[in-house]
C-alpha cells in the first residue's frame, strides 16, 4: 500500500541562500535529507530540541515553502515541485494547524469568514462552515463574531475547523496545543483523536510534550540538527531509544 504522505530526501537551506528564511537573529534551521512515510489514518509524531528544524519542516510539508531538494509526495504524487494546476488540486487535502491560535486568526475577520476562507464561493459554503464548527464542538451561530470574543481553547478549535473545512486527508500540526492550559490541551487532544477516528485523518504532529506524542502517535521521528536521527513505532522510540538526542529529550521530560 502506498503511504498517503511521504517525504523523500528533503533538504532546505543548503543549495541556495534563498533557501533561508531569516528572522531577526538567525536563519531558520537547515533540514538535511529528511525522509518518512505516513500511512492513512495514522499519526507521525515529530520531536526534537528547540532549533532542530521542526517548524521549518512543518512549513515545507504544508507547502508554505518549497524544499531546495527532495520530494513531498501525496498519494505518490510530488506536491513540492508539481505544476500550479496540480498543486491547486492537492492543496486542499493538506492543511496546517499553527502553534498560536490567536496569531493564526485574522482579528478583522469574522469566524465565518476565517473558517470558510479556503472554500471560496461554493454553493453549500454556509452549511459546510456550520458543520465544521459543530465538528469541533462549537455552536454554528458564532459565525458573525470575531476572534477576540473567544478563549484560547475556543480559538484553537476555530483554527481546527478552518483546517477541516476543505475535508483534508492530512493535517500538519505544529505545536498545536502548546499554547493552551492543561485542561484545554486535553480537550483539544481528545478532539483530534475523535476526528481521526471519524474522518480517517492522518496527522504529522509536532510537540515538545512527549506525553502528548506518546498518547497520539503511531510512529515517531526524532529531529536533531536538521536530520532525522531515529524513527520507528512510538513505543520503541519512547521506551527504548537508541540515539543520544532521543535519550536527552526523554531525560529532560522527567
CB contact at 8 A, 224 and 244: no
Q: What is the pTM of this model?
A: 0.88
What is the pLDDT at residue 130? 94
Q: What DSSP state is assigned to residue 22? A: B
Q: What is the DSSP string of 204-233?
A: EEE-S-HHHHHHH-SEEEEEETTEEEEEEE
Of 51, 3, 60, 4, give the one whose Cα is nearest residue 33: 60
Residue 252 to residues 42, 44, 226: CA-CA distances in angstroms? 27, 21, 20
What is the pLDDT at residue 81? 77
Question: What are 200-224's pLDDT values in tens digits?
Answer: 999 999 998 899 999 999 999 999 9
Rounded Cα distance, 184 and 176, in Å: 12
Task: Tell me the three state secondary structure of residue 106.
Answer: coil
DSSP bridge pairs for 94: 170
Of 205, 189, 183, give the one whose Cα is nearest residue 62: 205
Across the chain, which has 254 residues, the per-10-residue mean pLDDT values are 93 58 51 96 96 93 92 90 84 91 90 92 92 91 96 91 93 88 86 92 94 94 96 96 94 68
Sort strands 202-206 and 43-48 into parallel, antiparallel or unpaired.
parallel
What is the pLDDT at residue 178? 82
Question: What are 48-95's pLDDT values in tens digits?
Answer: 998 899 999 999 999 999 999 999 999 999 987 788 888 888 989 999
What is the pLDDT at residue 88? 85
Grid cell digits, residue 153 = 481553547
CATH code for the domain defined by 5-253: 3.40.50.300
What is the pLDDT at residue 22? 41
CB contact at 8 A, 67 and 8: no
Domain assignments of the chain as residue spans, ordered by start: 5-253
For the chain, the residue count is 254
What is the pLDDT at residue 143? 96
What is the pLDDT at residue 254? 41
Rounded Cα distance, 211 and 208, in Å: 9
Q: What DSSP state is assigned to residue 223? A: E
Grid cell digits, residue 31 = 533540514
The contacts of residue 171 (CB under 8 Å, 6+ apart) are: 94, 95, 96, 97, 163, 201, 202, 203, 204
Amino acid at each position: 500500500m502506498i503511504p498517503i504522505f511521504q517525504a523523500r530526501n528533503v533538504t532546505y537551506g543548503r543549495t541556495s541562500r534563498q533557501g533561508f528564511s531569516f528572522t531577526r537573529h538567525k536563519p531558520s534551521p537547515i533540514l538535511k535529507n529528511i525522509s518518512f512515510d505516513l500511512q492513512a489514518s495514522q499519526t507521525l509524531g515529530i520531536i526534537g530540541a528547540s532549533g532542530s528544524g521542526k517548524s521549518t519542516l512543518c512549513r515545507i510539508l504544508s507547502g508554505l515553502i518549497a524544499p531546495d531538494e527532495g520530494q513531498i509526495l501525496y498519494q505518490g504524487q510530488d506536491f513540492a515541485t508539481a505544476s500550479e494546476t496540480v498543486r491547486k488540486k492537492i492543496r486542499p487535502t493538506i492543511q496546517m494547524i499553527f502553534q498560536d491560535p490567536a496569531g493564526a486568526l485574522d482579528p478583522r475577520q469574522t469566524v465565518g469568514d476565517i473558517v470558510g476562507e479556503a472554500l471560496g464561493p461554493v454553493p453549500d459554503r454556509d452549511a459546510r462552515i456550520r458543520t465544521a464548527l459543530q465538528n469541533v464542538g462549537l455552536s454554528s451561530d458564532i459565525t458573525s463574531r470575531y476572534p477576540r470574543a473567544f478563549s484560547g481553547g475556543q480559538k484553537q478549535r476555530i483554527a481546527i475547523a478552518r483546517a477541516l473545512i476543505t475535508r483534508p486527508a492530512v493535517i500538519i500540526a505544529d505545536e498545536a496545543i502548546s499554547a493552551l492550559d492543561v485542561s484545554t490541551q486535553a480537550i483539544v487532544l481528545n478532539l483530534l483523536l475523535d476526528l481521526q477516528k471519524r474522518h480517517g485523518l492522518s496527522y504529522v504532529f509536532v510537540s515538545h510534550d512527549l506525553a502528548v506524542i506518546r498518547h497520539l502517535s503511531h510512529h515517531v521521528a526524532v529531529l536533531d540538527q536538521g536530520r532525522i536521527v531515529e524513527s520507528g513505532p512510538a513505543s520503541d522510540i519512547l521506551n527504548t531509544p537508541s540515539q543520544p538526542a532521543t535519550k536527552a529529550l526523554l531525560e529532560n521530560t522527567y
